[in-house]
Amino acid sequence: MANEYSDNLPQVAYTSQQVQQYEGQAAKLSGTNLTTLMRRAGHAAFSYVNDTMSSHEKVLVITGKGNNAGDGFIVAQLCREAGIAVTVLTLFEPKRLAGDAQQAYRQYHGKLVSTYSEIDLSQFTTVVDAVFGTGFRGELPEHVRTCFDCINNLPIRKVALDVPSGVNATTGEVAPSALMASTTVTFIALKQGLLSGTAKRFVGNLLLAGLGVDKAFNSQVTATSNFLNHETLMATRPQRALDSYKNSHGHVLVIGGNHGMAGAVRLAAEAALRAGAGLVSVATHPDNTAAVLYGRYELMVHAVATAEALLPLLNKASVVVLGPGLGQDLWAQSLFRRVIQTKLPLVLDADGLNLLAKEPVARSNWVLTPHLGEARRLLNNVNAKVDEADRFAVVSNISKQYQATTVLKGPGSLVAQQQSININRSGCAAMASAGMGDVLSGIIGGLLAQGMEAFAATNLAVYIHGLAAEQAADDGAKGMLAGDLFEHIRGILG
Ligand SMILES: NC(=O)C1=CN([C@@H]2O[C@H](COP(=O)(O)OP(=O)(O)OC[C@H]3O[C@@H](n4cnc5c(N)ncnc54)[C@H](OP(=O)(O)O)[C@@H]3O)[C@@H](O)[C@H]2O)[C@@H](O)CC1
Ligand SMILES: [K+]
């Protein structure tokens, strides 16, 4: 059990602090101790290196000044015992290591160097990163950055132990010159910061080694993030009644599509349909009606020249999606002001969010789907600090500030936290692809229209995470195209 590592990842993640705080307790409950955990961590990582090794492997282990270095020395010694050529590059004085890490250093009897200029880095086939783990904060020291800049440029595999050095495993912040791993073998439990935003690119292929204490850990500690894989989602998806018909599945009104921006509103409306909404109406600029309707005759498309023209449409809708292609001119502002007053569940996206940032209002029962730029505008508007690298904090701040369920989009990642809509999860981390905001808002609208509040934003977000995570292995975390997402959502709803 101790040497196991797996790419079959659990669907919960934690902060670094939680892992540091409770790993001892989990070890105790599992009848072991921290010293053994470090040995198991080293063994698990070595197993991965060894299992996936090519012939004539030359391994460079780079160590830091904490327990992550201890794991590294154990990997190095195991390489040595297995007859693999190994060198340890100590970026910090190893004599100053403490406790189990010091012990692991003493038990390593192979080659040691203290500066990378002493060795020809290009001779190595694998670099094992044991510089920083869950204890890392802030920026990398200058000498570490210079070394990582060289390593990152080498076309060799890089295996990070627990966390790629330079990535904050709680927030997902990536320090300049962080080590870009091809594979990260993380220990005990997934850390939420490894799953979102730019961190994803630095983590590479993510593996988990539970070290025999993961079950005890999960039973003791409440996860900060949840995500679903496809199988779980399919098992829990809402079922449609066999005798249902269009009026049993809600009516979404998508509003947007200013002059020259018909595409966005069409994408959102089509997504709402494909997500299973019984009826979808579109209120758009008079120039766009023909373009929006073309080839998608299920849509009911209305030319709306003034805000007054919205009233009969709002009266029939069960959910509104406002913002795709809306623009910010006087026409857009008048529609925004009218819609924001309704009591209907509302999904606000794109320019709807930019208008909200200019005219913040109190409301409940709404979902905001900003990308980071829109998020920054939403928060700057109320003078809140926006730490753009910490996507978890951004989504939590918007969620609190606007009393809104918030889904933060972004290249390669998405984070959601629910607020006033009745979603029964406590927040999650998830992945989505860039450029699919209109689709996302449409799908959320479509699901809300069907009364799937508990499913719409958060579960959708976590589901997309699962999909993107699966896909990431194949296409380098590029995420998915809108068409793929449509197909998957159609699969969910049957
Ligand atoms: N507990 C266990 O037995 C087990 C632990 N395990 C392993 O231990 C890892 C956690 O170990 P860890 O807590 O020692 O943290 P780690 O990341 O190695 O280094 C912290 C050091 O770095 C320093 N530092 C931080 N930021 C810095 C910066 N910007 N620039 C410069 N220095 C900086 C920091 O300094 P400080 O902030 O204290 O001043 C401190 O000295 C974990 O990821 C896993 O691999 C596993 O073996 C399982 C069993
Ligand atoms: K590391």
- Nearest ligand 1 atom to alpha carbon 141: 30
| Res. 204: pLDDT tops 80 | yes
* Residue 130 beta carbon below 6 angstroms from any ligand 1 atom: no
Interval between CA 70 and ligand 1 midpoint (Å): 10
Residue 358's pLDDT is 94
* Residue 64 beta carbon below 6 angstroms from any ligand 1 atom: yes
- Three-state SS at 139: coil
Ligand number, closest to the Cα atom of 165: 2
Give domain limits for the chain: 12-225, 230-493
The string over 236-245, giving b where at least 16 C-beta atoms fall within 10 Å of a residue's C-beta and e elsewhere, is: ebeeeeeeee
Residue 480's pLDDT is 35
* Residue 34 beta carbon below 6 angstroms from any ligand 1 atom: yes
Q: Which residue has the higher pLDDT, 436 or 449?
A: 449
The string over 338-375, giving b where at least 16 C-beta atoms fall within 10 Å of a residue's C-beta and e elsewhere, is: bbbebebbbbbbbbbbbbbbeeeeebebbbbbbbbebb
Q: Report yes or no: 211 and 38 within 8 Å, Cβ to Cβ.
A: no
Best CA proximity match to 337, nearest among 321, 352, 318:
352
- For ligand 1, atom 1, the nearest C-alpha belongs to 34
pTM: 0.83
Distance between first and last Cα of the chain = 39
At 296, the pLDDT band (50, 70, 90 cuts) reads: confident
Task: Provide the percentage of residues in the chain whose pLDDT is more than 70.
Answer: 80
Best CA proximity match to 460, nearest among 430, 490, 436, 487:
430
| Res. 236: pLDDT tops 60 | no
Residue 332 Cα distances to 255, 339, 376, 397, angstroms: 10, 11, 21, 26
CATH code linked to domain 230-493: 3.40.1190.20
* Residue 16 beta carbon below 6 angstroms from any ligand 1 atom: no
d(CA 288, CA 449): 24
pLDDT in tens, 136-182: 999 999 999 999 999 999 999 999 999 999 999 998 899 999 999 99
Best CA proximity match to 78, nearest among 118, 116, 51:
51
pLDDT in tens, 400-428: 889 888 877 765 455 555 443 322 222 22
Best residue among 136, 174, 184 to mutate for probing ligand 1's pocket (most ligand atoms within 8 Å of CB) is: 136
ipTM of the modeled complex:
0.98
CB atoms within 10 A of CB 294: 12
Which residue has 């015992």 as its token pair? Answer: 81
At 372, the pLDDT band (50, 70, 90 cuts) reads: confident
Interval between CA 125 and ligand 2 midpoint (Å): 18
Instruction: Name the residue type at position 307.
Output: A
d(CA 240, CA 453): 15
Ligand number, closest to the Cα atom of 19: 1
pLDDT in tens, 81-114: 999 999 999 999 999 999 999 999 999 999 999 9
User: Rounded to 10 degrees, what is the CA torsion of 326, 327, 328, 333?
Assistant: -20
Residue ranges for the known binding site for AMP are 409-413, 437
Interval between CA 220 and ligand 2 midpoint (Å): 25
* Residue 136 beta carbon below 6 angstroms from any ligand 1 atom: yes
CATH superfamily of 12-225: YjeF N-terminal domain (3.40.50.10260)
Greatest extent of the chain over all pairs of C-alpha atoms, in Å: 80
Interval between CA 239 and ligand 2 midpoint (Å): 44
- For ligand 1, atom 38, the nearest C-alpha belongs to 135
pLDDT in tens, 2-35: 458 998 888 888 999 999 999 999 999 999 999 9
Mean pLDDT value across residues 460-485: 39
Q: Give the strands of the sheet with 428-430, arranged side by side.
A: 300-303, 279-284, 251-255, 319-322, 346-348, 366-368, 405-408, 414-417, 428-430
